[in-house]
Amino acid sequence: MSQQPRLTEADVEQFLHDHPEFFVGKDELLSQLRIPHHNASGATSLIERQVQVHRDRNVELRQRLSDLLENARRNDQLFEKTRRLVLALIEADSWLALHAALDDSLRNDFGVDAWRLLHFTERQLERPLVAIRNQEQQRNIHRLFKGHRAICGQLSKQEMATLLNLDTTDMGSIAAAQIRGQDNHGILVLASQNPGYYRTSMDTLFLDYLCDVLALRLHQTPVAR
């Protein structure tokens, strides 16, 4: 006489997974089921446990939704700030006006602690415009990028001072991108006193986009009016 195969926990689990309505109409059975707590306070019914599981999942879903809404809010704010800056750059009629538009937006809208726009040119530029005329100095700056268009993170104090065209600096982290125009080249540099503000893992999409806009406007706009 053959023995009936014994059900395993996996068999029961699979059956309940395939028949989630199994307990419908079986209130007496449900009342007898118990699932232990993780603490010593006793047991709880299956229904109570299910309620708790659904409650925990709802909390997780609400948190995810909150994170998505917060990200959307930040993206909206970034878009609006970027839109204002691009419009100001379009309206600028000289390199000095471009510099002024950048300074107003980066300091007031984006809260940048320090910034610099370096122009690789042999022209004599009026302050606060910064011209890097020495080709060896230009090459030294390019070497800091190690073949990349943009860099972010903590550089040495001397490297950050070089990018900011200063002898020394108290900045803690930096983000910089190359401007590659038709007749002009340069570097846009943003700096923060917080060492962790600009990180190597950060996306440089906004900075790259801003440098593309500057490449067009610097080509289209005279140095002075």
The predicted model gives 93-122 an average pLDDT of: 96
Ranges of each domain in the chain: 8-91, 92-220
Q: What is the CATH number of domain 92-220?
A: 3.30.450.40
Question: Over 70: is that where the pLDDT of 111 sits?
Answer: yes
167-187 residue pLDDT tens: 999 999 999 999 998 878 999
Question: Over 70: is that where the pLDDT of 84 sits?
Answer: yes
Among 4-18, 48-62, 178-192, name the most confident range: 178-192
Confidence bin at 215 (pLDDT 50/70/90): very high
Question: Over 60: is that where the pLDDT of 2 sits?
Answer: no
Confidence bin at 56 (pLDDT 50/70/90): confident
Q: Please provide the DSSP assignment of the chain as one string.
A: -PPPPPPPHHHHHHHHHH-TTTTTT-HHHHHH-EEE-SSSS-EEEHHHHHHHHHHHHHHHHHHHHHHHHHHHHHHHHHHHHHHHHHHHHHH--SHHHHHHHHHHIIIIIS--SEEEEEEE-SS---TT-EE---HHHHHHHHHTTTT-SEEEE---HHHHHHHTT-S-----EEEEEEEE-SS-EEEEEEEESSTTTS-TTS--HHHHHHHHHHHHHHHHS-S--
Q: What is the pTM of this model?
A: 0.72
135-177 residue pLDDT tens: 999 999 999 999 999 999 999 999 999 999 999 999 999 999 9
